[in-house]
Amino acid sequence: MQLTGKVVFWQDKKGFGFLLCQQTEQKLFFHIRDFTDSKSRPAEGDELQFSLGTDKQGRPIATELSILSANPAARQPPLPRLSSVDLDYTQDMALYFRAAFLMLVIIALLFGTLPYLLPILYLEASLFTYWLYQADKNAAVARQTQRLPEESLQMFSLIGGWPGALVAQQKLAHKRSKPLFQREFWLVVLGNCLLLLWLMSQHGQQFLSRLALFS
């Protein structure tokens, strides 16, 4: 008599498991050697067809097994485990970038070349800000207790990295669902755009020319 049952436990390394018989609701032992197809590898959740047999001690077991339907979820490869992110290194790099960025802005002001360097400064700040969002996102996925301060992310947006932050929020799905952060972010974007418009205005150009000592 052919019976059916679902695998409730399977130890692949040792080649044995237990199934729950659908007809008798009995939990039965089975072994990989008792499959009719030697290439069969069951998994938990698979539905098996089998015959009722006994072991050497006379206990009921499942024999002459075959797989009726496989559980696809049990056969999916495990998701790769994301390694922890060294946020101390990330914060150190953020400090070095701020120092280099500030030095470049000061040099550009003194030589009167800031308006010409603005596209490069925005690009550099955006790329670095995106990298910071990526690091913080990875730390969140890895469930690390240490995270990048939100003030640091906002500050890099303020100095011109907000385009990179905007792309990161959409592409990485990071920080875009936090109302308070989003409100602060758009205020930062507004402040940066107003400053840029003022620098490009006549008054801003006059101010920049007064700072240019080596032009």
What is the model's pLDDT at position 215?
63
pTM of the entire structure? 0.62
Structural domain boundaries in the chain? 2-74, 87-211
How far is the C-alpha of 82 from the C-alpha of 197, rounded, in Å?
42
Q: The tokens of 8 are what?
A: 């409730």
Q: Are 18 and 31 in contact (CB under 8 A)?
A: no
What is the model's pLDDT at position 79?
56
* Fold adopted by 2-74: OB fold (Dihydrolipoamide Acetyltransferase, E2P) (2.40.50)
User: What average pLDDT values come out for the chain (215 residues) when binned by 10 residues?
Assistant: 93 94 94 92 94 94 94 70 82 95 94 93 97 95 91 96 97 93 97 95 92 81
What is the model's pLDDT at position 82?
61
What is the model's pLDDT at position 67?
95
